[in-house]
Amino acid sequence: MSAVEVIHAAEAEAAAGYPGPTVALTGACSAQLVSPDGATLWLVAAELAAGTEMRWGTEHGDEAVYVRSGSLVVDGRACPEDGAVVVEAGVAATAIAESDTTIVHVGPTDPAPPTKGLRGPAEAEGRSVRIVGPDGIWATVDETQRTRFFSDASAPTNRLWLLATDRPQYFESSAHSHSQDELIHVLRGEIRVGRRVVSEGDTLWVAADRRYKLYSGDEGVHFINYRRDASVMTSPNYDGPLLEAGQATNMTWVNDIR
């Protein structure tokens, strides 16, 4: 597996069942694993029929389900379109599709929670399922972007890192790197990394500490970005490595917890 890789949805095989390794699913679904074989992270894109149940046992790490359309209900709490369900490590849970629902489900290959990252291990006591609404927990919203953290690895009980950014116009990043492996899944538009094109439904894999640069198309791009643990970014825009978290990057505290 290379340090930078594009997994094209059109080339990913439709799974016979649900390919998420930690979930038992009851009901009708269409799903694909849109992440590279052998990676530390996995990503499933799925369409769930109304009434379909996703059930987690206790053998899993911190995971998240981003709701592209429809709604997932956990313990009477609904996660709407453009929100996310965060299932913290070791927590048994059931999510039910309230209507026909499309999701992006992410998790780590190793179910053991990280212990040696920038923030140390998460607390085991008090872990739960967190429902984060479309406004996120931290956000930056202006004419150039709508960027939200659903989890920035700073909660006491998890180290999940999940961000969504919607850029309505052309976007170009600096040449930079991150200290954690990452998956970037495109929800609208496209991004380019060198000659690689990542279109809607595709996933970009970038290994930790690999330097790269992103360009969007003229119509902008909307994507989610997933990492297993807290990370720092190294970029010429900053004097040194920058902790990638809501407070550290001067985002606004929103705390849209349902």
Kindly give the confidence (pLDDT) of every residue in the chain, 258 residues in length, as a single tens digit, with 9 standing for 90 and above: 899 999 999 999 888 899 999 999 999 999 999 999 999 999 999 999 999 999 999 999 999 999 999 999 999 999 999 999 999 999 999 999 999 999 999 999 999 999 999 999 999 999 999 999 999 999 999 999 999 999 999 999 999 999 999 999 999 999 999 999 999 999 999 999 999 999 999 999 999 999 999 999 999 999 999 999 999 999 998 999 999 999 999 999 999 999
Q: Alpha-carbon distance 42 to 148, whole Å? A: 21
The pLDDT assigned to 1 comes to 81
The pLDDT assigned to 228 comes to 98
Residue type, 190: E
**Residues forming beta bridges with residue 226, ordered by sequence position:** 162, 183
The pLDDT assigned to 16 comes to 84
The pLDDT assigned to 13 comes to 85
User: Which SS3 state, helix, strand or coil, does residue 150 take?
Assistant: strand
Structure tokens at 216: 């969007």
The pLDDT assigned to 112 comes to 97
- Residue 16's Cβ-count burial label (10 Å; 0-12, 13-18, 19+) is exposed
**Cα-to-chain-centroid distance, residue 101:** 17
* CB hemisphere CA count around 5 (13 angstroms): 18
Yes or no: say if 191 and 184 are a contact pair by the CB < 8 Å rule.
yes
Yes or no: say if 4 and 212 are a contact pair by the CB < 8 Å rule.
yes
**Following CA atoms 209, 212, 217, 218 in sequence, which dihedral angle do they give, to the nearest 10 degrees?**
110
**Residues forming beta bridges with residue 175, ordered by sequence position:** none
Residue identified by tokens 């981003």 is 66
**Residues forming beta bridges with residue 30, ordered by sequence position:** 47
Yes or no: say if 1 and 36 are a contact pair by the CB < 8 Å rule.
yes
Q: Alpha-carbon distance 224 to 31, whole Å? A: 18
The pLDDT assigned to 174 comes to 95
The pLDDT assigned to 106 comes to 99
- Phi and psi at residue 10, to the nearest 5°: -65, -20
The pLDDT assigned to 138 comes to 98
DSSP one-letter code for 199: E
**How would you classify the pairing of strands 84-87 and 63-69?**
antiparallel
